[in-house]
Structure 1
Amino acid sequence: MSKREKTEEREKRRKGRLVKRIVIWFVVLAGVSALIFYLVGSAGKNDGDTTDGGIPAVTEGDWVKWNASSQVVLLEYSDFQCPACKSYFPLINAVGEEYGDRVAFVYRHYPIAQIHFNANAAARATEAAGMQGKFWEMHDILFETQELWAPMSASDAASVFAGYARDMLRIDVDKYLVDFDSEAVQNMVTEDFSGAVKAGVNSTPTFYLNGKKIKNPGDIEEFRTLLDEALSNATTNPQ
């Protein structure tokens, strides 16, 4: 084979590899698009009313704490494996200590499973614990121990979560395991996620105040400014 023929052969191979890479990327993108389409289309509770910010309105199916009857509602879309979400965990607790008697807090799932491989399982763990009245307790434990279970394999992380249910929450672990693997629990996580996707949420944490998206407050002073204004407006314009 001449030098020219060798050069042409190498060029053909290079182009062939390039085409294969392009095809692979198209397949990956198509798969991600199909997943998002499925999640959005499969939502159940998200087919109802939405807020001005485009997210589903708060319903009895949501996890709400502090003053659940308040007109001022702080809502967070979060991922239990997200380091930024963990950094907000103590800040939200501090806000609750100061405003918990006047403000409602809602937690919704937005597990970014493409990079946080145990996030969806963690969300299911809280929902399974919630079936026995221990959602918020599992919520707190998962954030407090994130560095322990985040790097684990899926099976090891699931075992750790079950251990929390058995040893720390002291709930019926057999029921917990059934619920953890159930379609009903997965649907709860999916519904939160798909409602967020519809509203354009693409990162965690993402906060909404009275249904409108807000810039993530950097400290408790910024939370105070936002909440004080919302409380003042609620007093001036009661619903």
Structure 2
Amino acid sequence: MKTTLVCSGGLDSVSLAQVLAAEGRLSRIVSFDYGQRHRKELEFAAACAGRLGVPFHLVDLSGLGAALSGSALTDDVAVPDGHYAEDTMRVTVVPNRNAIMLTIAFGIAAANGDTAVAAAVHGGDHFIYPDCRPAFTDAFGAMQRAALDGYADVALHVPFVRATKADIVTAGAAAGAPFAETWSCYKGGDLHCGRCGTCVERREAFHLAGVADPTDYEDRVFWCAAVAAHVAGGA
């Protein structure tokens, strides 16, 4: 089963790339520039494709991203600090982002004879992002079967959709994922900030998985307080 992977250059999608490559299933990597303030992640996605020796497709959606206004990822809106399981993180939603990206990826996969499209959505995203939930991925897979009926048979592969980010770190480590060569931070600075939701989640995942975190963070203290507050709140 040759697989097109939607890859942001983050820990989750690079780990999945490594797993698919180890299984001999990775066919190509597709990434999207939607005007995200942290577009430096795309450099890590391109490097992942080069490292694994597969074609890299960069799709320019910057014009569309500008129309999907209101998100802290695309507009001049502050990226909040704290844990993902907080309502403040809803400002990081880009409406229909995964639906749009996956639709394009399915077209690329079908045009190139691939039989699956993979995405690294996971259980930790469910609270904030509706297009990372099993209800969405199940419905989307069915929709694409109808959309390509008679032309191509392409499945949606989401092995982490019910997994935790710590599970992803464990799987990535087993497959030899180069975690230092991934980018998560939504603020897009020189270093991971260590404070935004995706940084806090990243740090927590390494801790829970018992895997050394090679990431340089600007704030090395904030994570402990954020996790303590999250646990105390019973989230």
TM bin, normalised by shorter chain, reads under 0.3
Q: Which has the larger radius of gyration?
A: 1
Q: Structure 1 length as normaliser, TM-score?
A: 0.25
